[in-house]
Structure 1
Amino acid sequence: MTQTDRRLERAIIGLLERRAATSSICPSDAARAVYDEDDDGWRALMEPARRAAWRLVAQGRVEVTQGGRPVTEDEARGPLRIRRAGW
């Protein structure tokens, strides 16, 4: 795992901790939090942010949702949301 991967995981957890328990975030929120510049370079971190979310799902720390319901990595197509596990 790279340093960027670890930073993305920490960003996901940190962003969720700062929000209401039932709130969710977009993988782009984590990508933007990790990317240090003001341009659109954060977009290159979108796929790594999604992979970080799936690692956290495997650890039981978060859920990935679409349309408000949890989905598996095999089911997921298109825009995703990330929320704390158990909600």
Structure 2
Amino acid sequence: MSENVRQAILDALAAQSQGRSIDPTAVARSIAGSDERLWSRLMAPIRAEAVRLAEEGRLVIVRKNRPVDPRAFKGVYRLRAPEPSSED
């Protein structure tokens, strides 16, 4: 299951314009459909996978459009791709 969640998060981020964030509920709905009972069960696994991906540097967790510590955030959050590195 976590591999499906991971891939759904990465696919949703790839579909966004750079700098735009995604709502984790959209990821849940992309996996489970519109039935709230089904997709709401995915919210904890999505959060856990988002934390792992943030620790790997593959995404940024944001609250109020500001990056947060992946291990110490509470409440409503969104996911965004990291800024591209400016290596010349």
TM-score strictly above 0.5: yes
Q: Would the aligned equivalents of 2:19 and 2:83 in 1 still touch at CA under 8 Å? A: no
Gaps of 5+ in 2: none
TM-score by length of structure 2 reads 0.85
- Correspondence list, 1:1-87, <5 A: 4-35=1-32, 37-40=33-36, 41-86=38-83
TM-score by length of structure 1 reads 0.86
User: Which structure: larger Rg?
Assistant: 2
Task: Give, in angstroms, the shift of residue 38 of structure 1.
Answer: 3.9
CA distance in structure 1 between the aligned counterparts of 2:30 and 2:57, rounded to whole angstroms: 22
- Structure 1 residue runs of 4 or more that deviate by more than 2 Å after TM superposition: none
CA distance in structure 1 between the aligned counterparts of 2:23 and 2:47, rounded to whole angstroms: 9
The secondary structure found in structure 2 opposite 1:11 is helix
Task: Give, in angstroms, the shift of residue 74 of structure 1.
Answer: 3.7
Percent pairwise identity: 30
Q: Deviations over 1:46-77 (max 9, x none)?
A: 01001111111111100000011110134311
Q: Would the aligned equivalents of 2:54 and 2:70 in 1 still touch at CA under 8 Å? A: no
